[in-house]
Amino acid sequence: MSKNRLLGLISAMAMVPALAGAAEEEITYANQVSRIIQDNCQICHQPGQIGPMSFTNYEEVRPWAPLIRMRVLDREMPPYQYDHDIGVQELKNDWRMSDEDVNTIVAWVDAGSPMGNLEELPSAKQYPTIGEWRLAEELGEPDHIIQSSKWDVPAAGQDLWWEPEVPTGITESRCIKAVETLPSAAAHGSTHHANSHFLTQNEDGEWETFGRLSEYAYGKLGEKVPEGACRTAPADSRVGWSIHYYPDGNAVADDQVTVGIWYHDEEDNFDEEASYPQDLRLYALDGGGDYLIPPHGKLMTQGYHSFDHPTRIDSWQPHLHLRGVAMTMEVFDPATGRKEVLSQASNWNAGWNHSHTYEDGFQPLIPAGATIILTSWFDNTANNPRNPDPDQWVGAGQRTTDEMSHAWIAVTHLDDEGYEQLLAERKDAEDRTVATSGGAR
Can you give the binding site for ligand HEC, defined by CB under 6 A? Answer: 40-41, 43-45, 50-52, 64, 67-68, 71-72, 77-79, 97, 218-219, 351
Q: Give the HSE-up count for residue 385: Cα atoms under 13 Å, Cβ half-sphere.
A: 5
Question: Shortest distance, CB of residue 242 to ligand HEC, whole angstroms?
Answer: 17
Query: Measured from the CB atom, is 7 or 111 closer to ligand HEC?
Result: 111
Question: Shortest distance, CB of residue 160 to ligand HEC, whole angstroms?
Answer: 15
Query: Measured from the CB atom, is 46 or 375 closer to ligand HEC?
Result: 46
Query: Measured from the CB atom, is 12 or 67 closer to ligand HEC?
Result: 67
Alpha-carbon distance 84 to 87, whole Å?
Answer: 8
Question: Shortest distance, CB of residue 219 to ligand HEC, whole angstroms?
Answer: 4
Query: Measured from the CB atom, is 127 or 393 closer to ligand HEC?
Result: 127
Question: Shortest distance, CB of residue 217 to ligand HEC, whole angstroms?
Answer: 6
Question: Shortest distance, CB of residue 387 to ligand HEC, whole angstroms?
Answer: 16
From 305, 278, 310, select the one nearest 422 (Cα to Cα): 310
Alpha-carbon distance 374 to 344, whole Å?
Answer: 10
Query: Measured from the CB atom, is 46 or 242 closer to ligand HEC?
Result: 46
At residue 265, what are phi and psi to the nearest 5 degrees?
A: -140, 180
| Triad 41, 44, 46: Cα angle to 5° | 95
From 328, 384, 396, 340, select the one nearest 366 (Cα to Cα): 340
Alpha-carbon distance 9 to 13, whole Å?
Answer: 6
Alpha-carbon distance 401 to 372, whole Å?
Answer: 28
Say if residue 39 is exposed, middle or buried (CB neighbours under 10 Å; 0-12, 13-18, 19+): middle
Query: Measured from the CB atom, is 41 or 280 closer to ligand HEC?
Result: 41
Question: Shortest distance, CB of residue 97 to ligand HEC, whole angstroms?
Answer: 6
Contact assessment for residue 122 and residue 32, using Cβ atoms and an 8 Å cutoff: no
Contact assessment for residue 137 and residue 231, using Cβ atoms and an 8 Å cutoff: no
Query: Measured from the CB atom, is 71 or 309 closer to ligand HEC?
Result: 71
| Triad 42, 47, 52: Cα angle to 5° | 75
